Amino acid sequence: MGAGRAVSISLDGVRDKNLMQLKKLNSVLFPVRYNDKYYADALASGEFTKLAYYSDICVGSIACRIEKKEGGAVRVYIMTLGVLAPYRGIGIGTKLLNHVLDLCGKQNIGEIYLHVQTNNEDAINFYKKFGFEITETIHNYYTNITPPDCYVVTKYIAQPQPKK
């Protein structure tokens, strides 16, 4: 690395041809194995699922699912957001989350949420910095990891009011 050279962090969409990158990241980052439905939902979400590159090395991702609520409103569920340990703390997770939050604002999506293991204080604190709140505790949510409990962490996004 040259002295003073700005390091570029870029985002790229997930498609069939680079889906293995997401699978490889998930196998390293998370204690859970994800099924085909997870990957189908990630691909179907389009711009809401991204890979993050640090100087052309794939180091992180966010994968979301778009959900329709009763009454037709749409909300976003963050299935996973992760960055490889050596690349944490330099804004990659922030860039991924801000990308999805910006999309929610542009598409008038008023709610975004996720599940976080109750002992994952780093993740809880990360999301709180962006205005997420713990809205529920679910006991025995996880089957093969300890603790099995999770928090539902939610951010409600204020929708622009129509001008009168």
Enzyme catalytic residues: 77, 115
Give the Cα separation of 147 and 159 in Å (integer).
Answer: 36
Task: Report the Cα–Cα distance between both ends of the chain, in Å, rounded.
Answer: 54
- Backbone φ, ψ for residue 126 (5° rounding): -60, -50
Q: In whole angstroms, what is the distance from residue 111 CA to residue 113 CA? A: 7
Dist CA 99 CA 93 (whole Å) = 10
Q: How many other C-beta atoms are found inside a 10 Å radius of the C-beta of residue 138?
A: 13
Helices (H), 3-120: 19-29, 36-44, 92-106
Q: Is 60 left (phi over 0), alpha (psi -120 to 50) or beta?
A: beta
